[in-house]
Amino acid sequence: MQGKILTVVILVLLLLLNNIASALPSGPWKGRIIDIETKEPLEGAVVVAVWERVWKTPAGGVADFYEIKEVLTNQEGNYEMPSYTPINLLPILSYIRGPEFTIFKPGYLSLSGRHLDENVIDNSAEFKRDEKLYRLAPGIIELPKLKTREERLMAMPGPIGEDSGYKKQKLFIQLLNEENKNLGLKGEYKIEK
């Protein structure tokens, strides 16, 4: 009997220790966003970070939104998103994943689903999306300007998650609505008050 109790206690401790790492703070995330051609800073770009709660099920993980944070770049193109510690009160049933980042500036290629560490990446790297080149370097994200309406329509992201999460992404939705208007699209995303 004592052996079974000891086994249960050890298993519970292992489960709790397994989830402590997910409760450690991450960030802050800092960087600079510039135009890939001119190297000029991009003021007013939004950087959105999303954390998800992943529920453990026999069929695999099922994710839903946990938290969204956003910041704008300043005149020098710099952004800083403060550290954030997600709290998981149900570590046996779920874990917190993220953050994943979306970067958006009207008229520029948007990036979504990027995992950015504090310095973005260790080495400079070039990537292509929709035949457009963008560059990531330590602390710097270089975005290409989109030159045609079609390019802008193809690269246009949407809000993250359901309507209920719109309150936490007001800056992002304002920029999306601005780009919709610039492109002559009807309708806008509504933010619940």
Q: What are the structural domain ranges in the chain?
A: 2-182
pLDDT in tens, 13-37: 445 545 444 445 577 888 899 999 9
pLDDT value at 123 more than 80: no
Half-sphere exposure of 36 (CA within 13 A, CB side): 21
H or E element, residue 10? helix 2-20
| β-bridge partners, 168 | none
- Which amino acid would we find at residue 189? Y
Higher local confidence (pLDDT), 42 or 23? 42
Could you read off the pLDDT of 165-178 as tens digits, one per residue?
Answer: 788 899 999 999 99
DSSP code of residue 132: E
136 contacts 117 by C-beta, under 8 angstroms: no
Pairing of β 46-57 and β 29-35:
unpaired
Looking at the structure, give the CATH architecture of the domain made up of residues 2-182: Sandwich (2.60)
pLDDT band of residue 99 (cuts 50, 70, 90) is confident
Specify the pLDDT at position 10.
57
Q: Binning pLDDT at 50, 70 and 90, where does residue 118 land?
A: very low
pTM over 0.85: no
